[in-house]
Structure 1
Amino acid sequence: MTLQLNETHDVLLRSWVPSANQPESDFPIQNLPFAVFRRAGSNQAFRIGVAIGDQILDLAAAHAVHALAGYTELQGGHFTAAVNAPNLNGLMNLGAPVWSALRLALSRVLREGAAQQGTLQACLLAQSAAEFALPAQIGDYTDFYTSIHHATAVGKLFRPDNPLLPNYKWVPIGYHGRASSIGVSGQQFRRPLGQTKPPASDDPVFGPAKRMDYELEIGIFIGSGNALGDHIGIEKAESHVFGLCLLNDWSARDVQAWEYQPLGPFLAKNFASTISPWVVTLEALAPYRRAWTRDAADPQPMAYLESAALRDGGAFDIELEVLLQTEKMRHDGVAPERLSLSNFRHSYWTVSQLVTHHTVNGCNLNPGDLLGSGTQSGPAPEEAGSLLELTEGGKKPLTLSNGEQRIFMEDGDTVIMRGWAQKDGVARVGFGEVAGTLLPART
């Protein structure tokens, strides 16, 4: 199930792109994530790129000059069509062996001393000169609820005596979200309108949501899918995952509180979700696998959600950070301020379990489908992945360093999320960032 370490992970590898060799770079040669980009302000078609340091390698341009020649496993019409496409769906559909072979080819041609350096120099564009689109055409979006710390903290706000419902420890909880309103980092969206029920009123009211929140999540992009009626077993689940990104699933908490029973979130969630442009492959994250455990006092996973490989390395050690920049901070030139720092390793359910559970009933997944991990909160209060938790449901305002306070988001606020994996003796693997800004409600 798990991808093993190979020559692409060698910590001693260096690139002929100097910025990729900086210790704090999110995008060293050991990472090589994918995005869809074009030159900012141009009318060029969007195309697939690979991050290397502060540059983007145009994959179609590299293929056109035969820089990847010699890697015969990549040749053929399907690969050529996939790398020339305006999104990653075609490449996602080619499957894990092709993704791995492409990663090896890119690693070799971008290393110091590569014969292709002169040819590929012209295929680079600075990330600062680019604009990004969604990495894939997202046909379907499912959001899960995999952090037991988030589920318990939120449950205590609404059900103090019974915060965690009995099904939580048995089944990965999820709901079908809205794909059409997912945007790439930099997305701006209006404060949504909807029904809410004030505590002192017997009847609901209609108007702008007042309790706007973010949710710190990991996005999981499906690569090759499965046929309707088939399922993806736990041993093969990760071979169907193209990679991970950062995801902010914006939430209108007051709308959610009124509407979510009995069928779950609807208008409280479907107005916007924002993802990072870069998709980091599972192979790039192989050095950051962690053993996955389940408390012995808890129910252990049913057989279809259990495997030895899952226990050995089914979790990922990814740091996840949330920062806030208010409109006043931007005006005053003040940098964004950290609100919390968590880690994906705290997740109660894993990537492979989510894929397997999603398909166990015969549901068909397609290339480019997106799964959300749910809010990734850790066990400590400062690891909370939402304002709902950080302010204890609005009871304890946050005071920022400039004196401003926040219970929930205000118009003009920008939330920035960053992710990275880093430890001694291994190259840093970063996700870049995902940023989104709340605008006033429409009049």
Structure 2
Amino acid sequence: MSATSWVASANAPDHNFPVQNLPYGVFRTPGHDARCGVAIGDLVLDLSALEQAGLLGAGGSEPVFGQPNINAFMALGSEAWARVRARLTDLLATAGDPALRDDTTLRGRALLPVDSVELLLPIAVAGYTDFYAGRQHALNLGTILRGADNALPPNWLHIPTGYNGRASTVVVSGTDIRRPLGQRKPPSATMPTFGPSQRLDIELELGAVVGQGSTMGQPITVAEADAMIFGFVLLNDWSARDIQAWEYQPLGPFQSKAFASTISPWVVTKAALDAFRVPTPPREQPLLPYLQEPGPMLFDIALEVAMQPQGAASSTTISRTNANTLYYSAAQQLAHHSVSGCRMDVGDLLGSGTISGPDKGQYGSLMELSWSGQQPLQLDGGQTRSFIEDGDTLTLRGWAQGDGYRVGFGECRGTILPAPVRPEWAQ
């Protein structure tokens, strides 16, 4: 029998936020500053209120939960993470400490309906790196762009490839996204043109949140990297494929990826996901020793993408896949990131790269699902899509399914608005 909470809504077997989860986020209410909370059922538990009431201490010399991000808490380290998680579980479990449950005044102040709060970006993003760790996605994109014989670059089976993205444009779920402007050059054209992207896409990813930093000049092992990761978010790395095709050689993505990356508002802790660990797949080429793993480093997390055109009565689920299909784990990515001596910081965000399964219905981008526009998707309302149109809303969801409970991420959602208009740039 799974553990239950006295917060009744947390006990539904398909609810994202049972007592086994307790993901961290940041919220605000009218007239009050942003502060940290955890999700429990349909409620947000105000950690700052518990801290002030003396029911919760993270162990540092200063309070940490009255902050507009969870970075100060993460910086305290893994012992503090474990201590706070154990205390929160005790306060919220049916058979636990009744100090919160039986204090009507504190309960009314600290437990707030999620619909009554504004969820904010949960971390101050120190740096953002996007990897390319899904083999099926890399194979699909390579086949589309270079042909089946040259689909995987020669380094791909040996090294977690990635690029440094823009931390400044990482936004929280629910933030509207402007269609990006940029240069595009179709293969048939002799000169580039300028204007809104016509091949706007999503990338279904997991984002790893780094909770402990490293020292410049000091590489870390895969095991050390795993211990440094605080938790995970859903990540949509919006991509302008036509801008990308023109700019990415020889240095890689730039403006085609820099305009926006959306993350879910709740950081699901690694501790909550430990029960769902699975191994990475068999290696087609042996990895060098610094990338070899001491144990299972992936997670069995079901993922899906829904698309809803403006005015449509409902959304269409266009992809269902699983994070267990990744070829490289977040711990391997983090270890590789540091191996040159690159310093990692509290609040760094590492994108997994697009997560695609082996079948077409499991692909994690429209570039794959429509096969670069050659096979448009049929939506439930009768519309078709090759790429994203203005007014479309894309929603990512994910969860790990336990015995009678679900560790969920909630939603990672964004709606595309028309590109900004600058008449003086018209061609």
TMscore range, shorter length: over 0.9
User: What is the match of residue 177 of structure 2?
Assistant: 189
Match of 1:431 among 390, 402, 409: 409
User: What is the match of residue 158 of structure 1?
Assistant: 145
Q: C-alpha distance in 2, partners of 1:46/1:264?
A: 37
Match of 1:35 among 16, 20, 25: 25
Could you tell me whether the CA contact under 8 Å between 2:280 and 2:328 is conserved in 1?
no
Shift of 1:93: 0.7
Q: C-alpha distance in 2, partners of 1:188/1:75?
A: 38
Q: What is the DSSP-based 3-state SS (H/G/I as helix, E as strand, rest coil) of the residue aligned with 2:269?
A: coil
User: What is the match of residue 98 of structure 1?
Assistant: 80
User: What is the match of residue 131 of structure 2?
Assistant: 144
Matched, 1:77 2:61: yes
Matched, 1:251 2:239: yes
Match of 1:409 among 362, 371, 388: 388
Amino acid at match of 1:256: Q
Provide, for residues 123-182 of structure 1, a one-character-per-residue CA deviation record: whole Å limited to 9, x for no partner.
111111111111111121000000000000000011113111110000000000001011
Q: C-alpha distance in 1, partners of 2:85/2:60?
A: 17
Amino acid at match of 2:85: R
Q: C-alpha distance in 1, partners of 2:212/2:46?
A: 23
Match of 1:121 among 107, 111, 115: 107
Match of 1:216 among 198, 201, 204: 204
Could you tell me whether the CA contact under 8 Å between 1:243 and 1:279 is conserved in 2?
yes
Q: C-alpha distance in 2, partners of 1:91/1:154?
A: 39
Matched, 1:305 2:305: no
Matched, 1:229 2:211: no
User: What is the match of residue 107 of structure 1?
Assistant: 89
Could you tell me whether the CA contact under 8 Å between 2:2 and 2:404 is conserved in 1?
no
Amino acid at match of 1:400: L
Q: What is the DSSP-based 3-state SS (H/G/I as helix, E as strand, rest coil) of the residue aligned with 1:13?
A: coil
Shift of 1:233: 1.1
User: What is the match of residue 3 of structure 1?
Assistant: none
Could you tell me whether the CA contact under 8 Å between 2:205 and 2:236 is conserved in 1?
yes
User: What is the match of residue 4 of structure 2?
Assistant: 14
Shift of 1:12: 2.6
Matched, 1:263 2:245: no
Give the 5 Å matches for 1:358-437.
358-423=337-402, 425=403, 427-437=405-415
Could you tell me whether the CA contact under 8 Å between 1:287 and 1:426 is conserved in 2?
no
Q: What is the DSSP-based 3-state SS (H/G/I as helix, E as strand, rest coil) of the residue aligned with 1:201?
A: coil
Amino acid at match of 2:408: G
Q: C-alpha distance in 1, partners of 2:286/2:76?
A: 34
Matched, 1:316 2:299: yes
- Normalization by structure 2: what TM-score? 0.95
User: What is the match of residue 311 of structure 2?
Assistant: 328
Match of 1:47 among 18, 30, 35: 35
Structure 2 segments unaligned to the other structure (5+ residues): 422-427
Match of 1:174 among 162, 165, 175: 162
Q: C-alpha distance in 1, partners of 2:2/2:136?
A: 38
- Normalization by structure 1: what TM-score? 0.92
Matched, 1:342 2:330: no
Shift of 1:211: 0.3
Match of 2:69 among 78, 81, 87: 87
Amino acid at match of 2:286: Q
Could you tell me whether the CA contact under 8 Å between 2:38 and 2:44 is conserved in 1?
yes
Shift of 1:217: 0.4
Amino acid at match of 2:420: R
User: What is the match of residue 16 of structure 2?
Assistant: 26
Matched, 1:134 2:134: no
Shift of 1:426: 5.6
Match of 2:55 among 55, 67, 70: 67
Shift of 1:68: 2.8
Relative to structure 1, the CA distance from residue 307 to residue 214 in structure 2 (aligned partners, 3 Å threshold; closer, same or farther) is: closer
User: What is the match of residue 442 of structure 1?
Assistant: 420
Provide, for residues 36-74 of structure 1, a one-character-per-residue CA deviation record: whole Å limited to 9, x for no partner.
0012xx2421100001001000001011112237xxxx4
Could you tell me whether the CA contact under 8 Å between 2:15 and 2:405 is conserved in 1?
no
Q: C-alpha distance in 1, partners of 2:304/2:281?
A: 23
Q: C-alpha distance in 2, partners of 1:238/1:427?
A: 25
Could you tell me whether the CA contact under 8 Å between 2:13 and 2:404 is conserved in 1?
no
Could you tell me whether the CA contact under 8 Å between 2:12 and 2:405 is conserved in 1?
no
Instruction: Work out the number of aligned pairs and report it.
Output: 415
Structure 1 segments unaligned to the other structure (5+ residues): 1-10
Amino acid at match of 1:25: H
Relative to structure 1, the CA distance from residue 76 to residue 199 in structure 2 (aligned partners, 3 Å threshold; closer, same or farther) is: closer
Provide, for residues 102-132 of structure 1, a one-character-per-residue CA deviation record: whole Å limited to 9, x for no partner.
1000000111143211234121111111111
The percent of aligned pairs where both chains have the same amino acid is: 46
Amino acid at match of 1:219: G
Shift of 1:76: 4.0
Relative to structure 1, the CA distance from residue 171 to residue 426 in structure 2 (aligned partners, 3 Å threshold; closer, same or farther) is: farther
